[in-house]
Amino acid sequence: MADKMISTEPATGNEIWRGKVGNVDEAIERAQAAKAGWANESPARRMEFMRRFANQVLKHAEPFAELIARETGKPLWEARTEVDAVKNKVEISISAYLERTGQKKLDSALQGTAGLRHKPHGVMAVLGPYNFPAHLPNGHIVPALIAGNTVVFKPSEKTPAVGEFLTKLFHEAEIPEDVIQCVHGGANVGKALVGHPDINGLLFTGSAQAGIAINKKLATDPGKIVALEMGGNNPIVLLDTPKLEDAATTIIQSAFTTAGQRCTAARRLIVLDEMYHEIVPVLVGLTKRLIVDEPFADPQPFMGTVIDNVAADQLVESREALLENGGQDVLAMKRLKDDLPFLSPGIIDTTKIKDRPDVELFGPLLQIIRVKDYDAAIAEANNTRYGLSASLIGGKPEDFERFWTEIRAGIVNWNRPTNGASSAAPFGGIGLSGNHRPAAYYAADYCAYPVASTEVDQPRATIGVGLAEPSKQTRKTKDKHT
């Protein structure tokens, strides 16, 4: 395995970062050595450190955003929102920890005190993705540190510079370097972290394929906490609505923000036959107006690049496969530059494809599926092994009530995009989208475990039933001591 790594800007191809592959064994050994000291810090003290970290993020907000934009290819305006999310995660995580892992005591004069407290797991490995290389791993790291865990963080090999910058901000907040470490590397380093006997938990955000492999690897080790935050083949269902411009805007925000590289991005637009010819011209007209450009362009683009040329090629190949199997272009997705991963947003009608592939096409390619009625729309929306996010556009309150009840997803919205979930709510899905360990506000649940106790300051105990009378010898010994 090569010991050097290089990261380049998707929008220019220029080198942005160069570094070394990390040593997993050494990092975990250091984290293990540091975990007792960090766990013994009071929660209030650990929260104070996190607030110092938030101040460092604020202090370095603009260079942080510029680095995210350069290394991911996303527009600067969007990178700035990611930095804001990193900072805001601190107070949200503090509130979540106090609410969901607080202490409780019940006093009884005869039975003593019944208590509930929480303990950290120990060393947590965090594997981050490239689409939100600061916000998403930070969503695991901050709750884990507040709970008293130490963290070994492996950023995506496609965004190592952002991962390293994020880690340095923790260190600038005077959090000990062994408490939060950044280990660079590709799949081999990730596998080494997952399989290491001395980690106590694995917190992952990424593809379903990688998440399934992690789940299999750790299935025989129930002592390790595993939280898997994976992708989705997310549906938007469109019912009757007079607000076609608003509907089209919501669809575009869902499908094409971050160049479609969000786990909550809409992949499938399910439309009633009667609405198809009304929405398509509006949707296509608005999509054609979206600006695709480099992160610092003026005016600011709606979309930047996808992460690299490999991803762009795979998306082009996926579109071609859909066309070969009966799909029809509504708006063709195109490579805008042969040597750089700029893609125009595309829309393809896949209604006539008999067996539509249930995959997450991680980019700006939206499929339209026409159905005859609401029953068929709900059935089609649920026609996936994933279950992360779903939205209903249009309809009446009773339509949404049915949608909420029958849709299999962890995030179910009405007249709102499939993406843009609040960090003040739980974030996760079912099926191939997660393993019932939702992140965001509920991350506190998997970063500490509950410990119940009953406590009395002096031992007091009697055996009230089933005890024989003491023997004569026992009575004599007792009388002698008396």
- List, for residues 249-297, the tens digit of each pLDDT value: 999 999 999 999 999 999 999 999 999 999 999 999 999 999 999 999 9
* 229 catalytic residue (yes or no): yes
Residue 413, pLDDT > 50, answer yes
DSSP letter (8 states) at residue 41: S
Task: Tell me the pLDDT tens digit for each residue of 434-465.
Answer: 999 999 999 999 999 999 998 888 888 889 89
Over range 350-356, report the average pLDDT.
Answer: 96
**Residue 2: what pLDDT?**
67
- The helix or strand, by DSSP H or E, that contains position 455, with its residue range, turns out to be strand 448-455
**Residue 475: what pLDDT?**
58
Q: Which residues are within 8 A (CB) of 391 and not within 5 positions of it... i.e. 6 or more apart?
A: 235, 236, 237, 250, 254, 266, 412, 413, 414, 415, 416, 417, 418
**Among the options 263, 294, 380, 447, which is catalytic?**
263
CATH architecture of 234-421: 3-Layer(aba) Sandwich (3.40)
Instruction: For residue 234, name the pLDDT band (cuts at 50, 70, 90).
Output: very high
DSSP letter (8 states) at residue 434: B
**Residue 299: what pLDDT?**
97
**Residue 12: what pLDDT?**
98
Domain 4-229+442-455 of CATH type 3.90.1300.10: no
**Among the options 229, 294, 360, 380, which is catalytic?**
229
Task: Write the secondary structure of 228-283 as one string of H (helix), E (strand) and C (coil).
Answer: EECCCCEEEEECCCCCHHHHHHHHHHHHHHHHHCCCCCEEEEEEEHHHHHHHHHHH
Q: At what angle do helices 160-172 and 61-72 cross, to 10 degrees?
A: 160
Task: Tell me the pLDDT tens digit for each residue of 182-228.
Answer: 999 999 999 999 999 999 999 999 999 999 999 999 999 999 999 99
**Residue 1: what pLDDT?**
45
Q: Which residues are within 8 A (CB) of 66 and not within 5 positions of it... i.e. 6 or more apart?
A: 76, 79
Q: What is the pTM of this model?
A: 0.95
The full set of domain ranges for the chain reads 4-229+442-455, 234-421
Q: What is the mean pLDDT of the chain?
A: 95
Strands 439-440, 426-427: pairing is antiparallel
Over range 43-50, report the average pLDDT.
Answer: 98
**Residue 322: what pLDDT?**
98
Task: Tell me the pLDDT tens digit for each residue of 60-76.
Answer: 999 999 999 999 999 99
Task: Tell me the pLDDT tens digit for each residue of 131-161.
Answer: 999 999 999 999 999 999 999 999 999 999 9
Q: Please state, in angstroms and as integers, the Cα–Cα distance from residue 163 to each residue in 10, 39, 154, 155, following that order.
A: 17, 24, 8, 5
> What is the spatial distance between Cα 341 and Cα 446, in angstroms, rounded to a whole number?
37
Q: Please state, in angstroms and as integers, the Cα–Cα distance from residue 199 to each residue in 124, 152, 175, 191, following that order.
A: 6, 9, 20, 12
